[in-house]
Structure formats: structure tokens, C-alpha cells
């Protein structure tokens, strides 16, 4: 009896999966909605009566109802990169030429629509959907499996010759029709309408109740298969296979033998994108051959084998009113464009970053130009182009400032850098204040409760001019300041007192010497027992320290040559600030890799194996000699072989490339 029930349940599930596939993927329903609902209800009631036969892949799980209080973070086995952007034919040509030059052979392209939604990584094992994770920062995202299961375009079980384990990546979005229907409903209920389909789609994925997610009616299209097994020779073939396994792929994807064909595809969709049932914000062009993709590899941010072409209309046009400049702690100047306010993806934009002089020149930006602004990954939008047709006559190119906008000192620019900076380190107000804010920061002297506003007030009241002045502050000086009570004054004074026990390496970092970051400061403080011995160190002995190069040495020397800096150091010493090693045992650079084991394999190109192993130790990790279930990370260089294979078989080892390893130890 029980067996025959199980058989019925299984066959209902199979039927429903097939109907679902016919309906959502092939777009040709094989039974009526009514029949479908009847069968689903029968299955639901059987599963309720016989809970022992429940299966997370059953089509009944699409109905939703699981409430997630929070979504666990999941690390991506393969990093989810972003895409480089291009805005015209020339950008595309440059990209293709570069690839062709590396490959030294002809290339075929695949052109795809760039769906405007939220990307998702779907993990399948033995033909069953195991987990679904958002892109997050590309290294790790939120696991939202329950919510994703409610999306009918995403198969829960697969057909055919799928690989044992692999990832499918795609975009989850809301069709225009669904979006309009949702908004009509919301207006009826007296709720504010949603701003745009993209934000609504990504917001819907994070709803706590998966039954609510189901009601939103999200769609999905798959655009990539990531698998360690050689399943196909080309990206296009892989997509065809994926469709056969049960995934929904776009019918508009096109193989292109030349850039000319790619450009025709782009032009066509530029004119016809409104005819699509969903929004796209561009076209993605990929190199078809998977072995060519592998040869090209990745930059720190994106694959070299793919590029996005962004439609100009996704950028908004507005007018440049003026350019202003911000001066940072190190004296670096950042130009900022002040714009005529414009609505961009639902927010009013008034300013955009211009980065530096080179980027202004590259844009060929003139006064009062009409510009295209776009929101990238950053909070501050950027200018992506200029509408030359609307340039006011007689408008001059934007000339970069020659003098600091705050203190008037002539700006300097290093030969090998694009950045201008104000060299008046010791007296340019934002630099002076910035240095003091840096001095009290958590990784430096960690003087809690002393915020940047308080420091600014004290600076304006001429009570603070260098970090040494912190040690002369008194209750009487602090109390009259805005929002300062007896208790907070006590806390500040106590924290300043406590900073006298902060170890030398942190004090050295806190001085804010150019190019002396946290790690460099640690290395210096461990090599030289005191600031005096560091000041007297000959160049040769500085050069012997790993990773300490000429740039750092020059910066140190010019810092110590300055009489005001030497005076500061003497004063800090006199107040009892630690300017020498306290003689305690060396601690590692960080414990970021604590309890983690690493193994390196293949041909490494960013560092040697010895250096890599030393880095692991310096950050509290351990080096392993072989792949085993105890291994946490395998870092693979080129031509990795049996170790990689073994690690993949185990499935418990996280695979990193060299850049990912560096990102990991730098904590980014």
C-alpha cells in the first residue's frame, strides 16, 4: 500500500515537472491551468497525509510559505564577477582587438540581451536544485533558496545528461506586465507604487515569506553554466544543453561571426527593446569558445572574455553647472561635478564624481556641457559621456585647478600618478584635521568618543593643531563645545590617557606618513625597535625589508627631514606615547586566516609559493601539504592538475585564484 502511494506521488511530481517545463520554458502548455491545479492539489494532500515522502524538490514547494527571518551568507565557489562596460562601437573594437591579440586566433562571439534584474547563482547536485544565492559582493551572497524555489522558470529537478554538480547563473526579473499589475494592485490598496521593475525584483527576493515572493510573479532567464567538467566546447552549446536540462534561456541569444554582426544585433535591440516583455539595459557580448575564455581569464573585477554594451538611454542627460574640488586627508584632490538635478533610477542626482584630471580629459568635458550620468556600483553616480551636439558655443574645456582650493598652495602631481595633491601637508586645514582624525581612528591610537566633528571644532577654536595637542586637552577646554557633557568629557580624557599604552606599530601607523599603511607600519615597527632607530636607518637596511620599496622609503625620509614632524615626535614622546617596541612577543599581522589551512597548486604568477606560504603564516593560517578533507582553501595558479581535481571531488575545499587569495588576506 505504502509503496503504491509513493509511486503515485512520484509520478504526479514527474508529470507536474514536465507540465511546468512545457509551460514556462518551452512556452507551449500541454494541459490546461485547471488540470494543472487539480493535480497539484492531489499531490499536496497526499504529501500532507504521508509526510515521510516529502521531498524538497517537489513542485508543491513552489507554493512557498516558508518564512525566513534572515538569509545565511554563502561563499561563492566560483566568484561572480561583474562586467566591463562599453558605450560605443570603438570600445567594443578595442576589447575584441585586445582579446584577439592575446589569443592569436579568430574569435566567434555570442550576443545576449542584458536583462535588468538581480543575478542569482543556482547550485544543482544530482539534478536537484540545492541552493540559490544572490550575487552579493561577488565573493559571497545571501542564500535565498526558499524564495527562489517559488519562481516557476527555475527547475527544481533536471532532465537528461546534466553534470553531477554545477552552477547555473541567471537573472531574476519582473516582466513589464507583472510590474504594472502589481502597481495597479498597490494603488488600489492605497500603497505607494514601486519605482521600477529592477528594484522590485531584487526587493522581492528578500521578502521573508516565500508565499509573498510567489505572488510577485518573478521570472528568470539563465545566461551561464559554471562547471568543472568539460560538458561542451562553447558557451552557446552550453546554453542549449541547459535548456534541454530544463532551464529557461533566451530565444534571442545570437552567435555572431564578426563584430559587424554584433553591432547589427546591438542596433536592432536598441530600436526594438520596447517590444520585449521585460526591461533590458544593454547587450552582453561574450567570446563563444570556452577554451578561449579560459585563456583570457579575468581582471580583478571582470572577465576579459565578456563585455556589456550599455544603451545610452539608461544614462540620464543633464547639464554640468560647475566643478568643485574636495581635499582629502592625504592632500589628494577629487573633482566633483555639480549637476542640474536629474531623476536617476528613482533618486534625485545633483553631483557626480569625476575621479581625476585624466578622466575629465578622457570625457573631453567642457563648461556647461550636457552629460550622461549613470549609477554604477558606487553610491555617487558618474558621468559616462558627453552629448557633443548640445555643447554651448564657445565653451572651454574644464581646466584642472592649479592651486589648492582651501589653502592656495600650488598643486603637485606625481609623474606616474593621475592624482593632483596639495603639498602643504602640515598647514592645509583639511589635511591637518584629516591627520588628527586618522590619529584617533580605531586601527591607530583608538581614541574612542573623539569624533571628527569634535576634532573640527577644537581645530577651529585653535585648541588642536597636531596630534600632540590631544595630550594637552583639559576638561575646561572640552566642556564648552557643542553637545559636550561632563560624562563625555571624562570618557574622552580617559581614552586619550589610555592611548599612551597603544603599541608602537599602531602609533607609527597613526602618524599618517604617506604610503605607511597598517601593514607597512607593522613591518617597520618589527624591524626597528624604536622611532629613533627607524629615523637613523640607512636606505640599504630599509630596502632589505620585504615589500618596502623606494616610494615608501622616500616618503619616510622626507617625513623625518621635516623639523615640524620631528618636533611632533619629541612632544609625543614627552607625553608618554609608545614610540618604541615594548619587547612583547611578535604577534602575527592579523588573525584573519585563523584555523584555516591552505595549499597552493599550479603555476603561480602573482607571487612565489614561498611568499604565499609566508603570507598564510603572517595572517595566522596554516599551510597543508596535500588535499584532504581537513583542507579549507586550495589556491590555484595556471595549469592546476590532480590537486584541483581531488579538491573538486571532495567538494569541501574552497577554490581560490591568486587574486582572490590576496583579496582574502587584505580583508576585502
CB-nearer residue toward ligand AMP: 86 or 119? 119
- In the shown chain, the binding pattern of residues 43 to 82 toward ligand AMP, with x for contact by CB under 6 A and - for none, equals ---------------------------------------x
- In the shown chain, the binding pattern of residues 152 to 171 toward ligand AMP, with x for contact by CB under 6 A and - for none, equals -------------------x
Stretch that binds ligand AMP, among 112-120, 315-323, 509-517, 652-660 (CB under 6 A): 112-120
Q: Which three cell numbers stand for residue 298?
A: 579575468
Q: Which of 114, 149, 248, 382 is catalytic?
A: 114
297: left (phi over 0), alpha (psi -120 to 50) or beta: left
Binding residues for ligand AMP, rule CB under 6 A, total 11
Closest CA to 504 of 540, 542, 532, 472: 532
Q: Kind and range of the H or E element at 187?
A: helix 176-188
CB-nearer residue toward ligand AMP: 303 or 588? 303
Residue 83 binding ligand AMP, by CB under 6 A: yes
Stretch that binds ligand AMP, among 109-117, 312-320, 408-416, 556-564 (CB under 6 A): 109-117
- 3-state DSSP assignment of residue 546: coil
CB-nearer residue toward ligand AMP: 95 or 115? 115
For residue 184, count other CB atoms closer than 10 A to its CB.
11
In whole angstroms, the minimum distance from the beta carbon of 617 to ligand AMP comes to 35
Closest CA to 643 of 630, 634, 656, 651: 634
Residue 135 binding ligand AMP, by CB under 6 A: yes
Buried b (16+ CB within 10 A) or exposed e, 587-625: eebbeebeebbbbbbbebeebeeeebbebbebbbbbebe
First to last CA, the chain: 58
In whole angstroms, the minimum distance from the beta carbon of 301 to ligand AMP comes to 8
Q: Kind and range of the H or E element at 570?
A: helix 563-574
Footprint of Zn ion (CB under 5 A): 404, 406-407, 409, 422, 424, 428
Stretch that binds ligand AMP, among 38-46, 108-116, 508-516, 598-606 (CB under 6 A): 108-116
How many helices (H) and strands (E) the chain has is answered by: 24, 22
- Long-range contact set of residues 102-105: C-beta below 8 Å, sequence gap at least 24: 102/295, 102/296, 102/304, 103/292, 103/295, 103/296, 105/292
Residue 45 burial class via C-beta count within 10 angstroms: exposed 0-12, middle 13-18, buried 19 and up: exposed
Residue 115: name its binding partner from ligand AMP, Zn ion, none (Cβ under 5 to 8 Å by kind).
Answer: ligand AMP
In whole angstroms, the minimum distance from the beta carbon of 407 to Zn ion comes to 3
Residues forming a β-bridge with 374 = 382
- Judged by CB under 6 A, the residue of 19, 24, 36, 115 near ligand AMP is 115
Residue 428: name its binding partner from Zn ion, ligand AMP, none (Cβ under 5 to 8 Å by kind).
Answer: Zn ion
- Long-range contact set of residues 547-552: C-beta below 8 Å, sequence gap at least 24: 547/519, 547/520, 547/523, 548/520, 548/523, 548/524, 551/515, 552/515, 552/516, 552/520
In whole angstroms, the minimum distance from the beta carbon of 160 to ligand AMP comes to 23
Compute the distance between CA of residue 25 and CA of residue 647 in angstroms, rounded to an integer: 34
Residue 119 binding ligand AMP, by CB under 6 A: yes
In whole angstroms, the minimum distance from the beta carbon of 169 to ligand AMP comes to 7
Distances in Å between the Cα of 203 and the Cα atoms of 6, 66, 172, 200 are 38, 17, 11, 5
- Judged by CB under 6 A, the residue of 25, 61, 64, 112 near ligand AMP is 112
- Judged by CB under 6 A, the residue of 223, 372, 439, 470 near ligand AMP is 223
Residue 488: name its binding partner from Zn ion, ligand AMP, none (Cβ under 5 to 8 Å by kind).
Answer: none
For residue 329, count other CB atoms closer than 10 A to its CB.
16
Residue 284 binding ligand AMP, by CB under 6 A: yes
Compute the distance between CA of residue 56 and CA of residue 129 in angstroms, rounded to an integer: 9
- In the shown chain, the binding pattern of residues 565 to 604 toward ligand AMP, with x for contact by CB under 6 A and - for none, equals ----------------------------------------
Whether residue 335 contacts residue 323, with contact meaning beta carbons closer than 8 Å, is answered with: yes
Stretch that binds ligand AMP, among 61-69, 114-122, 462-470, 478-486 (CB under 6 A): 114-122
Residue 284: name its binding partner from Zn ion, ligand AMP, none (Cβ under 5 to 8 Å by kind).
Answer: ligand AMP
CB-nearer residue toward ligand AMP: 9 or 308? 308
- 3-state DSSP assignment of residue 127: coil
Q: Which three cell numbers stand for residue 44?
A: 499536496
Residue 404: name its binding partner from Zn ion, ligand AMP, none (Cβ under 5 to 8 Å by kind).
Answer: Zn ion
Residue 308 binding ligand AMP, by CB under 6 A: yes
Residue 114 binding ligand AMP, by CB under 6 A: yes
In whole angstroms, the minimum distance from the beta carbon of 197 to ligand AMP comes to 13
CB-nearer residue toward ligand AMP: 241 or 522? 241
In whole angstroms, the minimum distance from the beta carbon of 252 to ligand AMP comes to 10
Whether residue 142 contacts residue 133, with contact meaning beta carbons closer than 8 Å, is answered with: yes
114 is catalytic: yes
Residue 612 binding ligand AMP, by CB under 6 A: no
Compute the distance between CA of residue 101 and CA of residue 369 in angstroms, rounded to an integer: 36
In whole angstroms, the minimum distance from the beta carbon of 423 to Zn ion comes to 8
Q: Which residues are catalytic?
A: 114
State the residues that interact with ligand AMP by CB under 6 A. 82-83, 112, 114-115, 119, 135, 171, 223, 284, 308
Amino acid at each position: 500500500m505504502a509503496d503504491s502511494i509513493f509511486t503515485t506521488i512520484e509520478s504526479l511530481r514527474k508529470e507536474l515537472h514536465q507540465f511546468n517545463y512545457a509551460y514556462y520554458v518551452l512556452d507551449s502548455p500541454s494541459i490546461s491551468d485547471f488540470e494543472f491545479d487539480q493535480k497539484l492539489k492531489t499531490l499536496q494532500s497526499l504529501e500532507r497525509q504521508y509526510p515521510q515522502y516529502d521531498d524538497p524538490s517537489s513542485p508543491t514547494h513552489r507554493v512557498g510559505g516558508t518564512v525566513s527571518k534572515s538569509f545565511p551568507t554563502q561563499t561563492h565557489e566560483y566568484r561572480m564577477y561583474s562586467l566591463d562596460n562599453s558605450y560605443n562601437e570603438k570600445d567594443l573594437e578595442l576589447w575584441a582587438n585586445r582579446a584577439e591579440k592575446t589569443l592569436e586566433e579568430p574569435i566567434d562571439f555570442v550576443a545576449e540581451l542584458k536583462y535588468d534584474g538581480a543575478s542569482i547563482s543556482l547550485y544543482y547536485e544530482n539534478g536537484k536544485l540545492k541552493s540559490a544565492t544572490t550575487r552579493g559582493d561577488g565573493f559571497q551572497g545571501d542564500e535565498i533558496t526558499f524564495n527562489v524555489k517559488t519562481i516557476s522558470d527555475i527547475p527544481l529537478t533536471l532532465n537528461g545528461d546534466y553534470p553531477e554538480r554545477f552552477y547555473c547563473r541567471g537573472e531574476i526579473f519582473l516582466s513589464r506586465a507583472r510590474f504594472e499589475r502589481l502597481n495597479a494592485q498597490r494603488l488600489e490598496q492605497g500603497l505607494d507604487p514601486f519605482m521600477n521593475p529592477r528594484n522590485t525584483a531584487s526587493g522581492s527576493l528578500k521578502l521573508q515569506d516565500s508565499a509573498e515572493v510567489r505572488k510577485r510573479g518573478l521570472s528568470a532567464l539563465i545566461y551561464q553554466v559554471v562547471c568543472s567538467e568539460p560538458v561542451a566546447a562553447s558557451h552557446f552549446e552550453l546554453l542549449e544543453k541547459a535548456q534541454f536540462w530544463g532551464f529557461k534561456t533566451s530565444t534571442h541569444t545570437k552567435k555572431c561571426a564578426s563584430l559587424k554582426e554584433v553591432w547589427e544585433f546591438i542596433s536592432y535591440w536598441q530600436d526594438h527593446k520596447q517590444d520585449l516583455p521585460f526591461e533590458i539595459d544593454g547587450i552582453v557580448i561574450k567570446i563563444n569558445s570556452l577554451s578561449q575564455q579560459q585563456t583570457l581569464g579575468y581582471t580583478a573585477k571582470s572577465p576579459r572574455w565578456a563585455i556589456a554594451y550599455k544603451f545610452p538611454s539608461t544614462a540620464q542627460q543633464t547639464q554640468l553647472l560647475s566643478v568643485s574640488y574636495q581635499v582629502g586627508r592625504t592632500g589628494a584632490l577629487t573633482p566633483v561635478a555639480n549637476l542640474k538635478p536629474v531623476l536617476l533610477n528613482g533618486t534625485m542626482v545633483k553631483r557626480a564624481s569625476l575621479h581625476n584630471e585624466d578622466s575629465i580629459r578622457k570625457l573631453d568635458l567642457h563648461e556647461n556641457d550636457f552629460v550622461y550620468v549613470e549609477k554604477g556600483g558606487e553610491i555617487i553616480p558618474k558621468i559616462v559621456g558627453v552629448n557633443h551636439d548640445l555643447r554651448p558655443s564657445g565653451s572651454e574645456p574644464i581646466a584642472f585647478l592649479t592651486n589648492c582650493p582651501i589653502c592656495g598652495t600650488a598643486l603637485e602631481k606625481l609623474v606616474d600618478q593621475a592624482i593632483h595633491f596639495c603639498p602643504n601637508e602640515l598647514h592645509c586645514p583639511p589635511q591637518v584635521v584629516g591627520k588628527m582624525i586618522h590619529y584617533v581612528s580605531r586601527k591607530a591610537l583608538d581614541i574612542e568618543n573623539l569624533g571628527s566633528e569634535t576634532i573640527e571644532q577644537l581645530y577651529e577654536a585653535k585648541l588642536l593643531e597636531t596630534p600632540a595637542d590631544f595630550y594637552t586637552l583639559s576638561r575646561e577646554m572640552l566642556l564648552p563645545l557643542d553637545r559636550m557633557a561632563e560624562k563625555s568629557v571624562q570618557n574622552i580624557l580617559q581614552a586619550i590617557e589610555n592611548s599612551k599604552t597603544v603599541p608602537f606599530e599602531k602609533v607609527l601607523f597613526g602618524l599618517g606618513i604617506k604610503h605607511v599603511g597598517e601593514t607597512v607600519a607593522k613591518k617597520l615597527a618589527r624591524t626597528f625597535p624604536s622611532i629613533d632607530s627607524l629615523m637613523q636607518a640607512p636606505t640599504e637596511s630599509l630596502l632589505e625589508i620585504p615589500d618596502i620599496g623606494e616610494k615608501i622609503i622616500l616618503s619616510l625620509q622626507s617625513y623625518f627631514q621635516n623639523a615640524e614632524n620631528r618636533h611632533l615626535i619629541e612632544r609625543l614622546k614627552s607625553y608618554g606615547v609608545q614610540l618604541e617596541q615594548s619587547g612583547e612577543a611578535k604577534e602575527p599581522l592579523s588573525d584573519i586566516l585563523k584555523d584555516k589551512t591552505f595549499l597552493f597548486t599550479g603555476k603561480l604568477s602573482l607571487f612565489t609559493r614561498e611568499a604565499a606560504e609566508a603570507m598564510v603564516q603572517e595572517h595566522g593560517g596554516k599551510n597543508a601539504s596535500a588535499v584532504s578533507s581537513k583542507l579549507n582553501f586550495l589556491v590555484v595558479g595556471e595549469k592546476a592538475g590532480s590537486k584541483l581535481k581531488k579538491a573538486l571531488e571532495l567538494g569541501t575545499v574552497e577554490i581560490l585564484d591568486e587574486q582572490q587569495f590576496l583579496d582574502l588576506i587584505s580583508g576585502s
